[in-house]
């Protein structure tokens, strides 16, 4: 068992293959509903992926073929989320996984089959990219439970589909099938179920083989561009851009291009 695998739990499986960190939400009996144990385990795995130089891309998915993450584990609500005070504490405890995804310095991909609901949709929205199968279903059923969606969760969805589509999704609590999710910008690509994992593996492999400093600079710059200009960290963007041009990898990229070979990236 690797160090990363040992961090996982029976509810969160983790492995590293060919530069790809795989995180699997493993609660298929409840459609991979997210409880405290799963949330805390996933946070630890993501932190390990962030620190591991062998991980270039992170892919998250759900066990089985019925769900990515179907939302929060509602069976825990009566004990842990019965009122506003409990809800705030519960969200502090479970929000770590979403924050870990959002702050991950490496590309993140949500590989989605079946249900992607509520907090699971927020988790997918926090990722850089979302690829799903034709049988995927998306919804935020907050209006059917009389709960309010967290502000950061809303912002991630709004960034993808805009305010009007976000209002439609939350007001109606209706389910979006994969083609509609693609049409409004919620996902990047829809493929037949049998093709989903091979496509994601191939795509993630492409990112593994690209320059990590360049990808990091792109991710940071886009994140800053999404902020209001008054709080945008232009110095950070300039610094990571300069680091690319001053890096060993830039020299290696030039040499590899001239020598007509694949570059060997060191990430520095």
What pTM did the predictor assign? 0.90
Structure tokens at 97: 């996984």
Rounded distance between C-alpha atoms, residue 179 and residue 13, angstroms? 29
Do 122 and 177 reside in the same domain of the chain? yes
Do 104 and 127 reside in the same domain of the chain? yes
Do 9 and 129 reside in the same domain of the chain? yes
Using an 8 Å Cβ cutoff, are 139 and 169 in contact?
A: yes
Do 199 and 253 reside in the same domain of the chain? no
Residue 83 has pLDDT above 80, yes or no: no
Question: How many other C-beta atoms can be found within 10 angstroms of the C-beta atom of residue 40?
Answer: 17
Tell me whether residue 250 is in a domain: yes
Spell out the residues 6+ positions from residue 142 whose beta carbon is closer than 8 angstroms to its own. 118, 148, 149, 170, 173
Q: What is the band of 56 on the pLDDT scale with cuts at 50, 70, 90?
A: very high
Residue 87 has pLDDT above 90, yes or no: no
Reported as a single tens digit per residue, the pLDDT across 88-139 is 655 665 668 999 999 999 999 999 999 999 999 999 999 999 999 999 999 9
Do 198 and 79 reside in the same domain of the chain? yes
Using an 8 Å Cβ cutoff, are 18 and 56 in contact?
A: no
Spell out the residues 6+ positions from residue 154 whose beta carbon is closer than 8 angstroms to its own. 166, 170
Do 111 and 223 reside in the same domain of the chain? no
Tell me whether residue 266 is in a domain: no
Using an 8 Å Cβ cutoff, are 145 and 153 in contact?
A: no
Mean per-residue pLDDT, 201-214: 94
Do 186 and 232 reside in the same domain of the chain? no
Reported as a single tens digit per residue, the pLDDT across 2-44 is 555 556 678 999 999 999 999 999 999 999 998 888 899 999 9
Q: Pick from 95, 96, 108: which is nearest to 58 by CA?
A: 108
DSSP string for residues in 163-212: HHHHHHHHHH-PPEEHHHHHHHTS-SEEE-HHHHHHHHHHHHHHHHTS-H
Do 237 and 105 reside in the same domain of the chain? no
Do 143 and 222 reside in the same domain of the chain? no
What ranges in 71-192 are assigned the alpha helix state H?
77-80, 84-94, 96-102, 119-126, 151-172, 178-184
- SS3 (DSSP) at 238: helix
Do 177 and 114 reside in the same domain of the chain? yes
Full domain range(s) for residue 232: 212-259
Tell me whether residue 264 is in a domain: no
Do 69 and 104 reside in the same domain of the chain? yes
Structural domains in the chain (count): 2
Query: Looking at per-residue confidence, does 208 or 74 come out higher?
Result: 208
Domain with residue 193: its CATH number is 3.90.226.10
Q: Alpha-carbon torsion 130, 156, 47, 86, what sign?
A: negative
């Amino acid at each position: 068992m690797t160090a990363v695998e040992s961090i996982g739990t029976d509810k969160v499986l983790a492995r590293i293959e060919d530069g790809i960190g795989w995180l699997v939400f493993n609660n298929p009996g409840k459609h991979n509903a997210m409880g405290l144990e799963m949330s805390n385990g996933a946070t630890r795995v993501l932190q390990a992926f962030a620190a591991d130089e062998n991980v270039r891309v992170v892919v998250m998915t759900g066990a089985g073929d019925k769900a990515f993450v179907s939302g929060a584990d509602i069976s825990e609500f009566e004990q842990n989320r019965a009122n506003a005070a409990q809800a705030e504490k519960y969200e502090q405890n479970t929000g770590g996984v979403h924050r870990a995804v959002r702050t991950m310095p490496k590309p993140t991909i949500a590989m989605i089959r079946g249900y992607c609901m509520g907090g699971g949709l927020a988790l997918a929205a926090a990722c850089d990219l979302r690829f799903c199968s034709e049988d995927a279903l998306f919804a935020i059923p907050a209006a059917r439970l009389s709960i309010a969606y967290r502000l950061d969760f809303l912002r991630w969805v709004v960034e993808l589909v805009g305010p009007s589509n976000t209002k439609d999704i939350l007001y109606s609590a209706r389910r979006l099938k994969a083609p509609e999710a693609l049409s409004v910008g919620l996902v990047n690509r829809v493929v037949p179920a049998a093709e989903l994992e091979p496509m994601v593996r191939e795509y993630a492999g492409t990112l593994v083989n690209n320059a990590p400093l360049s990808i990091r600079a792109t991710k940071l710059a886009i994140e800053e561009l999404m902020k209001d200009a008054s709080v945008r960290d232009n110095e950070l963007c300039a610094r990571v851009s300069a680091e690319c041009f001053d890096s060993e990898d830039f020299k290696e990229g030039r040499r590899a291009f001239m020598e007509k070979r694949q570059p060997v990236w060191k990430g520095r």
